[in-house]
């Protein structure tokens, strides 16, 4: 019944562990109590550490810059940013695609790896999902505010029976974006919340103050850990996972259509969807590493986020990095193979034109550097992994810069060629969104369990069920 | 609702209510708020004042203030009702004025003294648009850029408005009294101390007034000064014929044309007519297979040089030598050819072969000797009376203006001038530097100035009388061929104090306050030139815009051979001719009026300031032009950045004076020569023109007005930012402009069409549109277009296109719907130059339409690519996806929603665009709709020719034709059927509705091939710099 | 451990989650309805005028033709507002001393225009051409309503874009015989066939944006 699937998971976990003993997903010496205690303590009992205050203050400060940027933008016009007539999109869309890309790892880890029974995911999926939500929130800022008249664009893009008797243009990739991104945001949010419910219950029961108890209690929606609850829970979680999986692919595919549907040399390429998706996962995992490494350090979660997790993520980065590299290769190849003068010029201009330094920096960050991860000693070197994750994030930002700016700045008629560079306010908006991201993230690690408590418990040897024997103490029950 | 919070704290109360209240009460509360004064104020003044200062730290564009639809207002449009409007009908309606239908009146604009016949469109009494007058011989319906832009001068808020004495406001009667007493003081000496300085005058009425004044004051003197006048032509005529004459040309009958530094498309009173006539001999439609041939000898690349079949770049000082050699060669002196060998002999042969059907045209900017020589050569070739006509000058008093200015300066110096009256001219700014005019003015006890602006001269005068604009005043003037136009006002002076020159001169007479109307009318009544029935003749002359039979009889002066023979030897003795070319390379300097703002009088005209100069595509600045070779030698480099083009500032040292100027590299420019445009560097032009560019007049002396040697050029090491709209030189071997030689064209007439591979019609994902009714299309003849820019300004005037300022242009955010692309081919030293007008081509498969998320740019059932401003949210996706990059975006609130006078100027049939929306060429859809409505009202269908777009109407070469391509008999349909017709980038399957007729050049097979030089590989062209390196450069609005 | 929540909480939460959907839907529906309500569009709104000019009296009562005052309606985009002179043609004799008409006489004396309040006011980015309509069998009353029954001019229609499109997409619904265009009282008779008229007048009203927006 409900525990079947559950114990299946446990068994899978055990087998997985048997496969490679050297690095377990949970360090030995933990029982249900210690796991629950250790994770929930972060939120409930432990005093808010100084570094949290520092980090939160830092993020909040940057967030203020975002507000300045927005006010300035609305007051004076999109012209305070860099775009011009050959280059109609600049850092606005670059950052949008970059954030959306980052927003991919979460759902991928939670949904796809769940379906693939990759138990090692359990200790990172919670904040990977959180990261997804926050990244999408940052991304959503751009499509609205990069338009000339944001106060209209945020509702004219939706189809509704208006008094003008006109509909949006369903042929436009931007409309597809509206649906793709909003769906993705909704489903990810649901998925994340559903995953949290049992832990909310745990927190509710362990809460010291009535106040917290009430809040967590409402969020827990009356979870009592009954068999029925678990049954519904598992079903819902699986369903959502199934629903989220195609979205992981679809969102960035649709985002890539923004370019692929255009006729601009450097945009008009059929390879865009796969290589954008790969790029997104690439960037996503890089970001998960960037976040998880400090997190495990400061909160002493090395037991739960083990070297195994880090190494697996490094492997995923290596794999997706190679796919992306293939994408770059094919772009150049097709430019030559198509014998299209515009395509040819575009790629030559990328490599030798005024923005060549961007292109080669991108190649170094995204193609050359990640290949060092073939080496196990580097792959298991935590500081190096952290550094590498940053390199990849930068590389992916450069990729969008190259695709958008160098393609646009010299298209068909030499008479209208131009140059682009971001202005002060372009940068403040970008840094501002980073501030938003950090702020949300710190609120999250302060008030919610960063690691799924009950799922961790299923990984413990004790969760192992001797066939048809007394049922293992059901997770979710609280310990006196 | 939809009002974002951040941008309008002053309405936070409103937004809070909006959130808190349920629908019904919310509306009430909004109404309540509407009543509050601050909200009403907010509605009217939607952006806070001085928002524009952000955009332009220089504050130059205050008059383009950032005003208009704010977020809150726009956000609440769903909620607020539009402000209530009044209807204010006439009390007694004027006859035949129909609300909603424009009226047209014929008048003339005067430039350099000569009349430019125009029809002015008037909406309910507001002149809004200037068109050419088809009846007028100098216009034939065409206009030039400056005539188009003159409407902006009329409404310029910086125009001088009040009559002042030493800066204090006075009234007309005070002035008359002051002038009177000064005159009475003069009477005794017969006016010996009275000097009147005008510009070149062709006005019969004004001449008559001057004569009567000079009769009253026999000792007084009438001086004239026009910095851009025909000084050499006059001197040359005197040299050849002993008296000043006007030389006119008939290009329709010329097979071979040689210009000696003569850019007849951009200079001279007859330019519009000449462009038309010359183009008519170059067009190849209707099965014509022959065309005229143009040789151009140039010291500064010009419009006709870019048209030329053979172009020879010479230093200014070499042109005279060339002319002498040609004269000798045609005289049978074989030795003459030595110096110019390869070029001269075939040319001479070609001219000889076309004796009587050729033209040798001397340039304004050459020496009198060159003019005399040209006259001699034309006489030798028997062109006189056939293609070349010497006639009585159209000027009322053709005097040597240089000498005249010397006299005046001398008299002022020795204190002989007691009363100086300056009509229109701005000598304090434009007089030759060596005369030191401004300083000497101090020695005149009473100085009077009449001018449109409170300019540099007004500053130095006791009295300043604001001049009425040509569209505000009565007057008359002659065209290049002498035809008189009587100017009628379109509107009463915007500022009551304004006076016309006639009214000012009337102050000398017994009727000091007589109206200009009476002055002009009385003159013509007395003259009796308008026929027996004066009233009828007068009305007809006003209606037609020309006085019939007033043209000066051509051929009045025919130089006899004997008169010519002595010329060429004598020429070198003429004062003012530069010394023969220096043996070794001392640099030369050449002076030219600015192609856009002329001698500086249009400096405050935003349209002309922002108008890309025909060949350099520079805006808002002038520069020191030099050849790529010279630039390399001087180490001058250009650098493209995202904030404009960085160039070196060079110091020009010439005859002990020096000026700092930004350098510009000009392909086709002669080496070791620097050409500078004068007219920039105004101090008192107005808020737009002040402190733009550099002032070149300080280098210009009366003995070398157009060119001289002995220039020293040195790099200062400083850099300067120029705003250029096209910094890329070559076509990158893309088939954008398609050209062939006449021979190639005769062999394969469809050479242009052949070169594009249009995909089949079905090859599109979306179903094709069907065009049952009209299908609008346009054809542009690249063989006719000379790149004169008239269409660009015409488009700007017709479509309420805003000016954005230098900084925004430098960020490539200019707003022109119609641009003229300039491409070079061949070597950088002697390039072939092509002009290509480029605006929205109205694709049948438009890439922009597919990608717009809100359907703000959509296809009409007549094939128009509609742009709907009020639907646009400004994603800029359409612009990104437009392969022609003809879409323009309002990054800020560029349109001026504030200045009252500019509101009057707007075309009421075109929406004034607000911030954050895309815009582009509409094929003048307002004209299409108007024509349709009138056809419906008249109960008939549209006829070919009912609709002319603004650009088409302005084009002097008639290169642009618009019409219905579904009507197989329409002109445009026929042109599109021409073998030369092709669509730019049509291989992208965009199916453009605007197609081009390929260019055809007619080289002389016996001429030597163009010396290759270094190819246009962009080596000398501006080099791109990584954008990121320029983030330090101030973004707009950076403090 | 004590109960945090009363057991009724379950019901409450269920209901509120379920109800939220309806609240949101209702809010949206209200907004759409409101934006079409006369309050927002000004439909039926009567504006006060400096002179209480009654179309009911002049058109309905005296049967004066629209074109007597709105002279340019057939030849121009603008129908034209009568100059004071037009009023005085009659009112220099009739009601020549009526106090109500004093503003008219004053305007005529002082040569200062009467400032009427605009009733039918399209946004400035929408261009409407009267001549194109009245010459193609679209009557005045189709847009301006029964002016012959209006003591004071009232806005007869919503003037919203969907209202314009309704006719442009199906003119047969509104076209009338050309000779009835200026008859405010015209009603489609039993034998009225809009489709036939539309074909006869070759009515193909364009719904392209540039027809009205430019």
Confirm if B951 and B960 have CB atoms less than 8 A apart. yes
For the segment A431-458, the average pLDDT, to the nearest whole number, is 85
| Whether the predicted pLDDT of B10 surpasses 80 | no
* 3-class DSSP assignment, residue B282: coil
* 3-class DSSP assignment, residue A180: helix
Given an 8 Å threshold on Cβ–Cβ distance, is C117 in contact with B87? Answer: yes
Task: Please report which confidence band the pLDDT of residue B917 belongs to, taking 50, 70 and 90 as the band edges.
Answer: very high
Say yes or no: domain B177-229+397-475+498-530 is CATH 3.40.50.740: yes
Given an 8 Å threshold on Cβ–Cβ distance, is C80 in contact with B99? Answer: yes
Residue A350 near chain B (CB below 8 Å): no
Quick one: tokens of B405? Answer: 């200015």
Residue of C30, C47, C76 with shortest CB distance to B100: C76
For the segment A461-473, the average pLDDT, to the nearest whole number, is 49
Mean pLDDT computed over every residue of chain C: 90
**Per-window interface: C 19-48 vs B, CB < 8 A:** 27, 30-31, 34-35, 39-40, 42, 47
| Chains in contact with A via at least 3 Cβ–Cβ pairs below 8 Å | B, C
- Which range is least confidently modeled, A20-24, A95-99, A446-450, C166-170? A20-24
| Whether the predicted pLDDT of B1034 surpasses 70 | no
Task: Classify residue C42 as left (phi > 0), alpha (psi -120 to 50) or beta.
Answer: left
| Whether the predicted pLDDT of A40 surpasses 90 | no
Given an 8 Å threshold on Cβ–Cβ distance, is B891 in contact with A79? Answer: yes
Chain C residues with CB under 8 Å of A218 CB are: 13
- What pLDDT score does B360 carry? 94
* CATH superfamily of the B251-386 domain: Dimethylsulfoxide Reductase, domain 2 (3.40.228.10)
- What pLDDT score does A472 carry? 43
Q: Which of B304, B254, B255 is nearest to B275 (CA)?
A: B304
Q: Which residues pair with B823 in a beta bridge?
A: B834
| Residue A220 neighbours by CB under 8 Å, 6+ apart | A197, A198, A200, A201, A203, A204
- Provide the shortest C-alpha distance from residue B737 to chain A (in Å): 10
> Which tens digit of pLDDT belongs to each residue from A368-415?
999 999 998 888 888 999 999 999 999 999 999 999 999 999 999 999
| Residue B842 neighbours by CB under 8 Å, 6+ apart | B776, B777, B778, B863, B864, B865, B921, B923, B992, B993, B994
Query: Cα separation of A182 and A200, whole Å?
Result: 26
- 3-state secondary structure labels for all residues of chain C: CCCCCCCHHHHHHHHHHHHHHHHHHHHHHHHHHHHHCHHHHCCCCECCCCCCCCHHHHHHHCCCCHHHHCHHHHCCCCCCCCCHHHHHHHHCCCCCCCHHHHHHHHHHHHCCCCCEECCCCCCCCCCCCHHHHHCCCCCHHHHHCCHHHCCCCECCCCCCHHHHHHHHHCHHHCCCCHHHCCCCCCCCCCCCCHHHHHHHCCCCCCCCHHHCCC
Residue A165 near chain C (CB below 8 Å): yes
- Provide the shortest C-alpha distance from residue A145 to chain B (in Å): 9
Find the closest chain C residue to B866 by CA distance. Answer: C210
Q: Which of A152, A158, A165 to mutate to probe the C interface, most C CBs <10 Å? A: A165
Name the DSSP class of B224. E
Quick one: tokens of A106? Answer: 């979460």
| Whether the predicted pLDDT of B556 surpasses 70 | no
Given an 8 Å threshold on Cβ–Cβ distance, is B933 in contact with C82? Answer: no
Query: Cα separation of A257 and C190, whole Å?
Result: 56
CA atoms within 13 A on the CB side of B587: 24
For the segment A130-149, the average pLDDT, to the nearest whole number, is 90
Chain B residues with CB under 8 Å of A76 CB are: 51, 54-55, 66, 892, 1037
A152-156, A363-367, B585-589 — most confident range: A363-367
For residue B86, what is the enclosing H or E element? strand B86-87
For the segment A195-219, the average pLDDT, to the nearest whole number, is 85
* 3-class DSSP assignment, residue B539: helix
Q: What is the CATH number of domain B587-724?
A: 2.40.40.20
Share of residues in chain B with pLDDT > 70 (%): 85
- Rounded to whole angstroms, what are the CA distances from B860 to B912, B966, B976? 21, 15, 21
- What pLDDT score does B450 carry? 95
| Residue A263 neighbours by CB under 8 Å, 6+ apart | B847, B881, B883, B988
Confirm if B313 and B670 have CB atoms less than 8 A apart. yes
Given an 8 Å threshold on Cβ–Cβ distance, is C211 in contact with B98? Answer: no
- Provide the shortest C-alpha distance from residue B256 to chain A (in Å): 32
In terms of pLDDT, which residue wins out, A122 or B195? B195
Q: Which residues pair with B110 in a beta bridge?
A: B115
For the segment B194-209, the average pLDDT, to the nearest whole number, is 94
- What pLDDT score does A145 carry? 92
For the segment B202-209, the average pLDDT, to the nearest whole number, is 94
Quick one: tokens of B319? Answer: 């042109």
Chain B residues with CB under 8 Å of A152 CB are: 2, 74-75, 873
- Rounded to whole angstroms, what are the CA distances from A445 to A60, A64, A128, A303, A309? 15, 21, 12, 17, 19
Chain A residues with CB under 8 Å of B55 CB are: 76, 79
| Whether the predicted pLDDT of B13 surpasses 80 | no
Task: Please report which confidence band the pLDDT of residue B674 belongs to, taking 50, 70 and 90 as the band edges.
Answer: very high
Give buried/exposed letters for A87-106 (b at 16+ CB in 10 A, else e): bbbbbbbbbbbbbbbbbbbb
Residue C103 near chain B (CB below 8 Å): no
Given an 8 Å threshold on Cβ–Cβ distance, is B853 in contact with A174? Answer: yes
Given an 8 Å threshold on Cβ–Cβ distance, is A166 in contact with C161? Answer: yes
Residue of A77, A357, A420 with shortest CB distance to B915: A77
Task: Please report which confidence band the pLDDT of residue A459 belongs to, taking 50, 70 and 90 as the band edges.
Answer: low
- What pLDDT score does A17 carry? 53
**DSSP letters spanning A432-474:** HHHHHHHHHHHHHHHHS-SS-HHHHHHTSGGG---TTSSPPPP
Given an 8 Å threshold on Cβ–Cβ distance, is B911 in contact with C78? Answer: no
**DSSP letters spanning A293-351:** HHHHHHTT-TTTS-HHHHHHHHHHHHHHHHHHHHHHHHHHHHHHHTT-HHHHHHHHHHH
Residue C77 near chain B (CB below 8 Å): yes
Residue C202 near chain B (CB below 8 Å): no
> Which tens digit of pLDDT belongs to each residue from C79-133?
999 999 999 999 989 888 888 999 999 999 999 999 999 999 999 899 999 999 9
> Which tens digit of pLDDT belongs to each residue from C126-157?
999 999 999 999 999 999 999 999 999 999 99
Mean pLDDT computed over every residue of chain B: 85
> Which tens digit of pLDDT belongs to each residue from A319-358?
999 999 999 999 999 999 988 899 999 999 999 989 999 9
Q: Work out the burial of residue B987: count CB atoms within 10 Å of its CB; fewer than 13 is exposed, 13-18 middle, 19 or more buried.
A: middle
Q: Work out the burial of residue C94: count CB atoms within 10 Å of its CB; fewer than 13 is exposed, 13-18 middle, 19 or more buried.
A: exposed
Confirm if A471 and A3 have CB atoms less than 8 A apart. yes
Residue B931 near chain C (CB below 8 Å): no
Task: Please report which confidence band the pLDDT of residue A480 belongs to, taking 50, 70 and 90 as the band edges.
Answer: very low
Residue of B82, B98, B910 with shortest CB distance to C214: B910
Cα dihedral A310/A315/A319/A325 (nearest 10):
70
Architecture of the structural domain at B5-35+729-759+773-1001 = 2-Layer Sandwich (3.30)
Residue B562 sits at the vertex; the CA angle it makes with B558 and B563, to the nearest 5 degrees, is 55
Chain C residues with CB under 8 Å of B773 CB are: 204
Query: Cα separation of B398 and B114, whole Å?
Result: 13
Quick one: tokens of A235? Answer: 């079903």
Residue of C5, C32, C166 with shortest CB distance to A161: C32
Query: Cα separation of B80 and B38, whole Å?
Result: 15
Query: Cα separation of B884 and B736, whole Å?
Result: 10
Quick one: tokens of B783? Answer: 């063989």
> Which tens digit of pLDDT belongs to each residue from C24-79?
999 999 988 888 888 888 888 898 999 999 999 999 999 999 999 999 999 999 99
Chain A residues with CB under 8 Å of B855 CB are: 166-169
Chain B residues with CB under 8 Å of C42 CB are: 81
Confirm if A335 and A347 have CB atoms less than 8 A apart. yes
Query: Cα separation of B963 and B967, whole Å?
Result: 8
Given an 8 Å threshold on Cβ–Cβ distance, is C76 in contact with B79? Answer: no
Given an 8 Å threshold on Cβ–Cβ distance, is A160 in contact with C165? Answer: no
- What pLDDT score does B1018 carry? 55
For the segment B305-329, the average pLDDT, to the nearest whole number, is 90
Q: Work out the burial of residue A435: count CB atoms within 10 Å of its CB; fewer than 13 is exposed, 13-18 middle, 19 or more buried.
A: buried
For the segment B750-767, the average pLDDT, to the nearest whole number, is 87
- What pLDDT score does B339 carry? 66
- Provide the shortest C-alpha distance from residue C169 to chain B (in Å): 14
- What pLDDT score does B1029 carry? 34
Query: Cα separation of B269 and B113, whole Å?
Result: 9
Confirm if B905 and B120 have CB atoms less than 8 A apart. no
Query: Cα separation of B648 and B635, whole Å?
Result: 9
Quick one: tokens of A56? Answer: 């939160």
Q: Which of A91, A415, A426 to mutate to probe the B interface, most B CBs <10 Å? A: A415
Question: Could you tell me the domains of chain A?
Answer: 68-159+173-461 (1.20.1630.10)
- What pLDDT score does A26 carry? 63
Question: What is this model's ipTM?
Answer: 0.89
Residue of B4, B736, B811 with shortest CB distance to A74: B4
Given an 8 Å threshold on Cβ–Cβ distance, is A412 in contact with B985? Answer: yes
In terms of pLDDT, which residue wins out, B393 or A458? B393
Given an 8 Å threshold on Cβ–Cβ distance, is C13 in contact with A163? Answer: no
- What pLDDT score does B388 carry? 92
- Provide the shortest C-alpha distance from residue C164 to chain A (in Å): 9
Confirm if A389 and A295 have CB atoms less than 8 A apart. no
Residue A209 near chain C (CB below 8 Å): no
- What pLDDT score does A245 carry? 85
Total-model pTM = 0.88
Confirm if A96 and A142 have CB atoms less than 8 A apart. yes
For the segment B97-109, the average pLDDT, to the nearest whole number, is 91
Domain layout of chain C by residue ranges: 9-36, 55-81+116-211
- What pLDDT score does A447 carry? 84
Domain layout of chain B by residue ranges: 5-35+729-759+773-1001, 177-229+397-475+498-530, 251-386, 587-724
- Which range is least confidently modeled, A264-273, B192-201, B555-564, B954-963? B555-564
Residue C135 near chain B (CB below 8 Å): yes
Residue of B640, B731, B1035 with shortest CB distance to A80: B1035
Given an 8 Å threshold on Cβ–Cβ distance, is A163 in contact with C36? Answer: yes
| Whether the predicted pLDDT of B461 surpasses 60 | yes
| Whether the predicted pLDDT of B334 surpasses 80 | no
Q: Which of C4, C6, C25, C158 to mutate to probe the A interface, most A CBs <10 Å? A: C4
Share of residues in chain B with pLDDT > 90 (%): 67
For the segment A286-298, the average pLDDT, to the nearest whole number, is 87
Give buried/exposed letters for A302-341 (b at 16+ CB in 10 A, else e): ebbbbbbbbbbbbebbbbbbeebbbbbebbeeebeeeeee
Q: Work out the burial of residue C23: count CB atoms within 10 Å of its CB; fewer than 13 is exposed, 13-18 middle, 19 or more buried.
A: exposed
For the segment C178-187, the average pLDDT, to the nearest whole number, is 92
Confirm if A103 and A284 have CB atoms less than 8 A apart. yes
- What pLDDT score does A123 carry? 74
> Which tens digit of pLDDT belongs to each residue from B707-746?
999 899 999 999 999 999 998 888 888 889 999 999 999 9
Longest CA–CA separation in chain C, Å: 98
**Per-window interface: C 157-196 vs A, CB < 8 A:** 158, 160-162, 165-166
Confirm if A142 and A92 have CB atoms less than 8 A apart. yes
């Amino acid at each position: 019944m409900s525990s079947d699937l559950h114990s299946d998971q446990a068994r899978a976990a055990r087998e997985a562990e048997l496969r490679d003993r050297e690095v377990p997903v949970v360090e030995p010496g933990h029982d249900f109590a210690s796991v629950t205690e250790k994770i929930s303590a972060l939120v409930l009992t432990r005093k808010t550490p100084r570094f949290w205050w520092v980090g939160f203050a830092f993020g909040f400060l940057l967030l203020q810059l975002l507000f300045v940027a927005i006010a300035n933008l609305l007051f004076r016009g999109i012209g305070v940013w860099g775009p011009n007539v050959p280059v109609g999109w600049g850092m606005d869309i670059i950052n949008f695609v970059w954030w959306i890309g980052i927003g991919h790892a979460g759902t991928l880890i939670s949904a796809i790896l769940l379906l693939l029974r990759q138990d090692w995911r359990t200790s990172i999926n919670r904040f990977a999902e959180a990261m997804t939500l926050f990244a999408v929130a940052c991304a959503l800022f751009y499509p609205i505010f990069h338009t000339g008249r944001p106060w209209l664009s945020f509702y004219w893009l939706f189809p509704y029976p208006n008094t003008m008797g006109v509909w949006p243009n369903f042929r436009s990739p931007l409309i597809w974006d509206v649906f793709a991104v909003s769906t993705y945001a909704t489903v990810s949010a649901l998925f994340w919340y559903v995953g949290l419910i049992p832990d909310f219950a745990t927190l509710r029961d362990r809460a010291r103050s009535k106040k917290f108890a009430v809040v967590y209690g409402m969020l827990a929606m009356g979870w009592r850990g009954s068999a029925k609850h678990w049954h519904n829970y598992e079903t819902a979680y699986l369903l959502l996972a199934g629903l989220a999986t195609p979205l992981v692919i679809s969102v960035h595919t649709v985002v890539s259509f923004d370019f692929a549907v255009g006729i601009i040399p450097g945009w008009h390429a059929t390879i865009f969807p796969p290589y954008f998706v790969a790029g997104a996962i690439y960037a996503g995992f890089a970001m998960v590493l960037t976040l998880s490494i400090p997190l495990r350090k400061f909160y002493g979660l090395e037991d739960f986020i083990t070297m195994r997790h880090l190494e697996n993520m490094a492997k995923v980065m290596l794999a997706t990095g190679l796919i992306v590299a293939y994408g770059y290769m094919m772009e150049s190849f097709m430019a030559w193979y198509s014998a299209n003068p515009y395509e040819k010029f575009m790629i030559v201009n990328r490599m030798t034109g005024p923005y060549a330094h961007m292109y080669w920096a991108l190649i170094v960050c995204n193609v050359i550097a990640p290949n060092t991860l073939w080496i196990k000693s580097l792959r298991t070197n935590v500081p190096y992994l952290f550094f590498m994750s940053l390199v990849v994030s930068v590389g992916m930002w450069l990729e969008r810069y190259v695709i958008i700016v160098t393609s646009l700045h010299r298209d068909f008629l030499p008479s209208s060629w131009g140059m682009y560079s971001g202005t002060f306010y372009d940068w403040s908006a970008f840094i501002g969104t980073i501030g938003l991201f950090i702020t949300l993230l710190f609120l999250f690690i302060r008030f919610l369990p960063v690691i799924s408590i009950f799922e961790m418990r299923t990984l413990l040897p004790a969760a192992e069920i001797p066939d048809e024997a007394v049922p293992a103490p059901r997770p979710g029950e609280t310990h006196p | 609702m939809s009002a974002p919070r951040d941008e309008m704290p002053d309405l936070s109360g409103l937004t809070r209510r909006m959130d808190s209240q349920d629908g019904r009460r919310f509306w009430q509360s909004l109404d309540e708020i509407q009543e509050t004064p601050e909200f009403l104020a907010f509605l009217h003044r939607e952006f806070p004042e001085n928002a524009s200062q952000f955009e332009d730290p220089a504050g130059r564009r205050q008059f383009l203030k950032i005003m208009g639809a704010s977020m809150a207002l726009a956000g609440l449009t769903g909620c607020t009702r539009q402000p209530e409007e009044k209807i204010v009908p006439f009390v007694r309606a004027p006859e035949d004025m129909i609300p909603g239908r424009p009226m047209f009146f014929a008048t003339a604009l005067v430039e350099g003294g000569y009349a430019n016949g125009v029809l002015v469109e008037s909406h309910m009494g507001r002149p809004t648009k200037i068109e050419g007058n088809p009846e007028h011989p100098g216009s034939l319906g065409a206009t030039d850029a400056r005539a188009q832009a003159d409407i902006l001068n009329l409404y310029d808020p910086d125009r001088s408005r009040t009559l002042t004495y030493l800066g204090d406001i006075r009234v007309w009667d005070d002035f008359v009294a002051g002038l009177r007493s000064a005159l009475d003081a003069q009477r005794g000496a017969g006016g010996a101390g009275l000097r009147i300085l005008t510009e070149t005058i062709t006005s019969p009425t004004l001449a008559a007034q001057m004569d009567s004044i000079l009769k009253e004051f026999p000792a007084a003197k009438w001086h004239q000064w026009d910095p851009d006048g025909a000084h050499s032509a006059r001197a040359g005529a005197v040299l050849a014929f002993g008296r000043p004459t006007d030389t006119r040309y008939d290009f329709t009958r010329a097979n071979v044309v040689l210009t000696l530094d003569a850019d007849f498309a951009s200079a001279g009173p007859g330019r519009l007519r000449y462009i038309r006539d010359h183009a008519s001999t170059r067009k190849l439609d209707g099965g014509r297979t022959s065309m005229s041939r143009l040789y151009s000898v140039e010291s500064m690349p010009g419009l006709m040089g870019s048209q030329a079949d053979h172009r020879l770049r010479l230093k200014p000082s070499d042109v005279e030598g060339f002319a002498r050699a040609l004269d000798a060669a045609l005289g049978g002196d074989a030795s003459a050819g030595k110096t110019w060998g390869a070029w001269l002999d075939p040319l001479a042969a070609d001219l000889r072969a076309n004796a009587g059907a050729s033209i040798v045209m001397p340039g304004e900017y050459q020496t009198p000797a060159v003019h005399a020589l040209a006259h001699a050569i034309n006489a030798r070739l028997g062109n006189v009376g056939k293609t070349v006509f010497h006639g009585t000058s159209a000027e009322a008093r053709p005097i040597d203006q240089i000498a005249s200015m010397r006299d005046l300066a001398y008299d002022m110096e020795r204190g002989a001038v007691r009363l100086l009256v300056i009509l229109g001219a701005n000598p304090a700014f434009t007089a030759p530097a060596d005369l030191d005019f401004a300083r000497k003015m101090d020695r005149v006890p009473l100085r009077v100035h009449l001018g449109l602006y409170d300019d540099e001269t007004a500053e130095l005068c006791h009295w300043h009388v604001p001049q009425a604009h040509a569209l505000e005043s009565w007057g008359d003037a002659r065209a290049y061929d002498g035809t008189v136009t009587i100017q009628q006002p379109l509107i009463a002076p915007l500022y009551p104090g304004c006076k016309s020159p006639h009214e000012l001169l009337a102050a000398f007479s017994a009727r000091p306050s007589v109206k200009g109307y009476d002055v002009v009318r009385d003159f013509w009544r007395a003259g009796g030139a308008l026929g027996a029935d004066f009233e009828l003749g007068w009305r007809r002359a006003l209606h037609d815009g020309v006085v019939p039979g007033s043209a000066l009889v051509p051929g009045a002066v025919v130089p006899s051979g004997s008169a010519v023979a002595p010329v060429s030897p004598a020429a070198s003795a003429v004062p003012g001719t530069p010394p023969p070319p220096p043996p070794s390379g001392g640099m030369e300097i050449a002076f030219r009026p600015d192609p856009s703002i002329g001698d500086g009088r249009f400096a405050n005209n935003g349209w002309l300031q922002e108008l890309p100069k025909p060949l350099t595509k520079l805006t808002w600045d002038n520069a020191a032009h030099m050849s790529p070779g010279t630039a390399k030698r001087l180490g001058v480099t250009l650098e493209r950045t995202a904030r404009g083009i960085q160039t070196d500032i060079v110091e020009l040292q010439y005859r002990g004076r020096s000026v700092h100027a930004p350098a510009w590299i000009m392909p086709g420019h002669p080496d070791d020569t620097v050409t500078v445009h004068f007219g920039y560097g105004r101090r008192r032009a107005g808020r737009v023109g002040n402190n733009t560019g550099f002032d070149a007049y300080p280098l210009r002396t009366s003995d070398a007005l157009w060119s001289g040697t002995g220039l020293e050029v040195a790099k200062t090491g400083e850099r300067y930012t120029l705003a250029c709209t096209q910094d890329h030189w070559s076509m990158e071997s893309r088939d954008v402009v398609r050209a062939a030689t006449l021979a190639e064209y005769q062999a394969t007439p469809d050479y242009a069409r052949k070169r594009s591979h249009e995909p089949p019609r079905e090859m599109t994902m979306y179903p094709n549109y069907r065009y049952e009714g009209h299908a609008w299309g346009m054809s542009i003849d690249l063989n006719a277009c000379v790149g004169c820019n008239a269409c660009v300004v015409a488009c700007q005037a017709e479509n309420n296109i805003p000016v954005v300022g230098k900084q925004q242009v430098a960020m490539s955010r200019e707003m022109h719907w119609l641009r003229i692309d300039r491409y070079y081919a061949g070597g950088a030293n002697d390039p072939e130059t092509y002009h290509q007008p480029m605006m929205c081509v109205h694709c049948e498969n438009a890439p922009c339409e597919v990608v717009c998320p809100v359907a703000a740019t959509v296809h009409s059932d007549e094939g128009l690519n509609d742009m709907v401003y009020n639907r646009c949210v400004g994603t800029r996706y359409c612009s990104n996806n437009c392969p022609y990059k003809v879409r323009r975006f309002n990054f800020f609130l560029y349109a001026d929603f504030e200045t009252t006078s500019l509101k009057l100027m707007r075309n009421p049939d075109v929406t004034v665009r607000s911030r954050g929306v895309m815009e582009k060429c509409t094929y003048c859809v307002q004209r299409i709709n108007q024509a349709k409505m009138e056809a419906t009202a008249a109960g008939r269908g549209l006829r070919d020719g009912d609709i002319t777009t603004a650009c088409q109407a302005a084009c002097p070469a008639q290169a642009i034709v618009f019409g219905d391509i579904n009507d197989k008999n329409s002109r445009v349909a026929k042109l599109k059927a021409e073998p030369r017709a092709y669509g730019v980038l049509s291989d992208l399957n965009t199916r453009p509705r605007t197609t081009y007729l390929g260019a055809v050049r007619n080289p002389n097979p016996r001429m030597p091939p163009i010396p290759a030089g270094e190819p246009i590989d962009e080596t000398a062209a501006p080099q791109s710099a990584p954008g990121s390196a320029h983030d330090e450069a101030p973004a707009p609005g950076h403090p | 451990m004590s109960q945090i929540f009363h057991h009724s909480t379950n019901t409450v939460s269920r209901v509120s989650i379920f109800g939220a959907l309806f609240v949101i839907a209702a809010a949206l529906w209200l907004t759409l309805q409101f934006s079409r309500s006369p309050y927002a569009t000004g439909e039926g709104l009567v504006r006060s005028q400096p002179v209480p000019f009654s179309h009911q009296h002049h058109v309905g009562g005296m049967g004066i033709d629209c074109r007597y005052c709105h002279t340019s309606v057939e030849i121009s985009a603008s129908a034209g507002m009568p100059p004071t002179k037009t009023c005085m043609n009659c009112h220099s004799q009739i009601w020549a001393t009526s106090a109500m008409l004093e503003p008219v006489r004053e305007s005529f004396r002082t040569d200062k225009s009467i400032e009427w309040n605009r009733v039918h006011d399209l946004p400035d980015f929408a261009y409407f051409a009267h001549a194109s309509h009245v010459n193609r069998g679209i009557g005045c009353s189709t847009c301006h309503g029964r002016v012959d029954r209006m003591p004071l001019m009232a806005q007869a229609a919503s003037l919203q874009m969907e209202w314009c499109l309704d006719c442009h997409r199906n003119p047969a619904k509104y076209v009338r015989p050309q000779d009835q265009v200026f008859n405010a009282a015209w009603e489609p008779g039993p034998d009225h066939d809009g489709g036939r008229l539309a074909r006869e007048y070759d009515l193909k009203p364009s719904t392209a944006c540039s027809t009205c927006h430019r």
